[in-house]
Amino acid sequence: MGWLAPYADDLLRLAGYPSPHPLAGDALTYAEQAIESYTRRVWGSSQPFTQRVFTTAKSYALPLPPDATSVATVNGSPAPTGVTWSITALGLEATDAEGRPVAWAPGVWTVAGQRGSAAIPQGVLKAASLLINAYLSLSDAQRSQMANASRGDLSYSMRYAQLSVPEAETYLAPYANRIAGGLL
């Protein structure tokens, strides 16, 4: 069961379907995958991440996943003595003991930390109910086609660039970050 499972009955009612529904599990999985792909965030739990960042010039911030909550190591080491790391909207920034910014040198940086949100905002739940409604409104043939799409298929990846329900995009807009990071 995924992170929407505790809300299944309420989401089905919001979507206008009785609970239990024979396709509820498939609809919840579809909504979870669509939301995570669209927002590029982990919902319902905190998970470790490792990200490799390539810089070609000095930078004052290393890009992070949009839902990064902490950074434990960079290139396998914690913050050096006298340097403080902080997560900002721009990414991971470093400051020295006097509070001056420290630049990251050009090169390859491997950042490890935690990402994800255990709390699920109401906007995300509303978007999930809209996506569940859209999934359950499909014909069996359309659902079968969707289930058989491979992740390498262009049509599959295009599906999550825009959601099947434009109103769901509105609810997810505050959580969507279109900057892609190279997660390992």
Q: Is residue 181 a part of any domain in this protein?
A: no
Is the entire prediction scored with pTM above 0.95? no
Q: Looking at the structure, do residues 25 and 78 belong to the same domain, yes or no? A: no
Output the pLDDT for position 149.
61
Q: Looking at the structure, do residues 25 and 80 belong to the same domain, yes or no? A: no
- Tell me which residue range forms the domain holding 99: 47-115
Number of domains in the chain: 2
- The H or E element containing residue 102 is strand 101-102
Output the pLDDT for position 154.
47
Q: Looking at the structure, do residues 111 and 52 belong to the same domain, yes or no? A: yes
Q: What would the mean pLDDT of 58-70 be, rounded to a whole number?
A: 92
Q: What is the pLDDT of residues 17-29, one digit of tens each?
A: 887 888 888 899 9
- The Cα 184–Cα 181 span in angstroms is 9
- The Cα 6–Cα 177 span in angstroms is 26
Q: What is the pLDDT of residues 105-154, one digit of tens each?
A: 999 999 999 999 888 999 999 999 999 998 888 877 777 776 666 445 54
Q: Is residue 67 a part of any domain in this protein?
A: yes
Q: What percent of the chain has pLDDT over 70?
A: 85
- The Cα 106–Cα 53 span in angstroms is 10
Contact (Cβ atoms closer than 8 angstroms) between residue 124 and residue 175? yes
* Of the residues 115, 136, 156, the one at which a domain ends: 115
Which range has the worst mean pLDDT, 80-84, 117-121, 137-141, 175-179?
A: 175-179
